[in-house]
């Protein structure tokens, strides 16, 4: 007689980073007012999640078990309460997770309508696919970013009906990636997503405030994306300085003006509400790293310069920016917020970090790294000295212990003439920029990156 080998079921404690990649888009922000999450667990097949919480009202310990539903979203299927100690609650959770795992529980039917997108099921010809999408789908070095994107896409609705196609395509990948990033950031910022309308792109709600958000990018023109493994186009400091004089601010102006002409504020569900344009720069390789200054200057019609005072000390001064000249010779005035109808635009949201590199780092934090993968993040962040023009450089190895957030690197440029201004408290822990009494004033978190890059290697 042969004995069947019994393999014990393992219940593994995981960190908050990994739990959040699964649950950030499911759990309601209100839970933070009711209970504190203490410990997170998964089984060895990652089909069941568990969390131990402390109930603020009853001062006892509870646990919740979750499994995926038919839409691949984790949903609660077991809640147990009234444990007098943390240890008893953990023991009960562990035993229950082992039992459900032994019963091969993998899906908890919810009976809801179909939801979520399968972004990596290709239904178009290879020549139409964006090279970055193909790399994301197939490369070992992109495993972490791919898994992070999959978890987010499980919670998306395709209101336009073409999200998957555009995400895969040469002409749509950058724009749809930017929308994925915004979705993750808004959820992390504890906004409720209202998805009844297909324009503008987002309707988000917190407390009694509803904000309309339209996403827009600076896309490529006559400059198709290269394969990822090819050396990026070299751009010298002189090239950048020349582009910042006219070309780049005019690109921002064109993109924002095209959205302004849509007159979203006339829509019934946008009337009398703040309207935000969320913009990102994908017009050239790594252009988002250096174009931030052009956006600031174009929006407010002013720029900051460094001068020496009578004692020879460097000071920062705000001065009027010059107008811009198109290749045709036409003069374009600076100052987006000075243009007609821009009073209906409450603010401009921008990030230089809403790129694939962000998804890679967030995926690695959640434990999705490929074996032997090493990712080093380098970049520049805000200098806490208000009288310094020089940013501070930073460098660190990305791991499951790093604490980057989705919102990190976001900037909200407030319109000083807005009909419906937005209080900074609705967007905590991001950069806020205002034009007050002729001065550009910035409010930023302690660590606030301007831009960064990943060095991604696999050693095996």
For 186-220, the pLDDT digits (tens) are: 999 999 999 888 899 999 999 999 999 999 999 87
Could you tell me the pLDDT band of residue 222, with boundaries at 50, 70 and 90?
low
pLDDT of residue 248: 87
Could you tell me the pLDDT band of residue 2, with boundaries at 50, 70 and 90?
low
Give the percent of the chain with pLDDT over 90: 69
The answer to whether 243 and 292 are in contact (CB under 8 A) is no
Reading the block at residue 275, the tokens are: 């309207």
pLDDT of residue 22: 94
Reading the block at residue 437, the tokens are: 């009494």
Q: Rounded distance, CA 324 to CA 289, Å? A: 21
- pLDDT exceeds 80 at position 259: yes
pLDDT of residue 456: 94
Tell me phi and psi for residue 186, to 5 degrees.
Answer: -65, -40
Could you tell me the pLDDT band of residue 246, with boundaries at 50, 70 and 90?
confident
- pLDDT exceeds 90 at position 413: yes
pLDDT of residue 374: 96
The answer to whether 41 and 12 are in contact (CB under 8 A) is yes
- pLDDT exceeds 50 at position 229: no
pLDDT of residue 231: 44
Could you tell me the pLDDT band of residue 226, with boundaries at 50, 70 and 90?
low
Q: Is 194 exposed, middle or buried (CB count within 10 Å of its CB: 0-12, 13-18, 19+)? A: middle
Helix axes 143-153, 356-365, angle to 10 degrees: 90
For 137-158, the pLDDT digits (tens) are: 999 999 999 999 999 999 988 8
The domain locations on the chain are 11-102, 126-458
* Ranges assigned E (strand) in 252-346: 275-281, 302-308, 314-320, 324-325, 331-332
Provide the H-helix boundaries in 266-420.
292-300, 356-365
**What's the pTM value of the predicted model, to 2 decimals?**
0.91
Sign of dihedral through CA atoms 217, 223, 229, 232? negative
- pLDDT exceeds 70 at position 230: no
Q: Which whole number is the average pLDDT over 30-55?
A: 93
Highest mean predicted confidence (pLDDT) among 24-28, 285-289, 299-303: 299-303
DSSP letter assigned to residue 326: -
pLDDT of residue 367: 94
Q: Is 286 exposed, middle or buried (CB count within 10 Å of its CB: 0-12, 13-18, 19+)? A: middle
Mean pLDDT of the chain: 90
Task: Give Cα separations from 168 to 130, 155, 422 (angstroms).
Answer: 6, 18, 34
């Amino acid at each position: 007689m042969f004995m069947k080998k019994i393999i014990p079921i393992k219940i593994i404690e995981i960190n908050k980073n990994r739990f959040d990649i699964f649950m950030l888009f499911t759990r309601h922000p209100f839970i933070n007012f009711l209970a504190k999450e203490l410990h997170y667990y998964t089984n060895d097949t990652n089909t069941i999640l568990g969390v131990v919480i402390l109930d603020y009202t009853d001062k006892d310990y509870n646990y919740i078990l979750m499994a995926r539903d038919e839409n691949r979203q984790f949903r609660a299927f077991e809640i147990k309460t009234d444990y007098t100690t943390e240890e008893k609650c953990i023991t009960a959770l562990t035993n229950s997770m082992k039992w459900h795992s032994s019963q091969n529980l993998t899906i908890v039917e919810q009976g809801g309508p179909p939801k979520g997108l399968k972004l990596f099921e290709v239904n178009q010809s290879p020549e139409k696919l964006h090279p970055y999408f193909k790399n994301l789908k197939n490369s070992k070095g992109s495993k972490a970013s791919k898994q992070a994107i999959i978890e987010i896409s499980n919670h998306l609705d395709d209101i336009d009906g073409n999200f998957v196609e555009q995400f895969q395509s040469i002409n749509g990948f950058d724009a749809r990636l930017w929308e994925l990033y915004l979705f993750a950031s808004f959820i992390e910022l504890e906004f409720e997503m209202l998805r009844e309308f297909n324009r503008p792109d987002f309707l988000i709600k917190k407390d009694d405030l509803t904000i309309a958000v339209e996403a827009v990018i600076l896309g490529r023109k006559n400059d198709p994306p290269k394969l990822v493994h090819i050396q990026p186009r070299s751009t010298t400091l002189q090239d950048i300085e020349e582009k910042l004089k006219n070309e780049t601010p005019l690109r921002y102006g064109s993109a924002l003006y095209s959205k302004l002409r849509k007159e979203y504020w006339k829509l019934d569900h946008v009337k009398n509400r703040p309207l935000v344009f969320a913009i990102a720069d994908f017009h050239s390789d790594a252009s988002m790293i250096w174009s931030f200054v052009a956006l600031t200057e174009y929006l407010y019609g002013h720029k900051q310069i460094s001068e020496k005072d009578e004692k020879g000390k460097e000071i920062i001064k705000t001065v009027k920016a010059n107008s811009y000249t198109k290749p045709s010779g036409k003069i374009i005035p600076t100052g987006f917020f000075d243009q007609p109808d821009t009073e209906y635009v409450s603010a401009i949201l921008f990030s230089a970090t809403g790129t694939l590199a962000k998804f890679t780092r967030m995926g690695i934090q959640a434990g999705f790294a490929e074996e032997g993968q090493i990712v080093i993040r380098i970049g520049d962040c805000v200098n806490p000295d208000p009288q310094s023009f020089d940013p501070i450089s930073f460098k660190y190895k990305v791991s499951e212990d790093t604490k980057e957030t989705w919102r990190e690197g976001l900037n909200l440029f407030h319109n000083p003439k807005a009909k419906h201004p937005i209080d900074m408290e609705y967007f905590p822990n991001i950069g806020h920029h205002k034009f007050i009494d002729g001065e550009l004033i910035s409010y930023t978190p302690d660590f606030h990156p301007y831009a960064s890059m990943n060095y991604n290697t696999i050693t095996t």
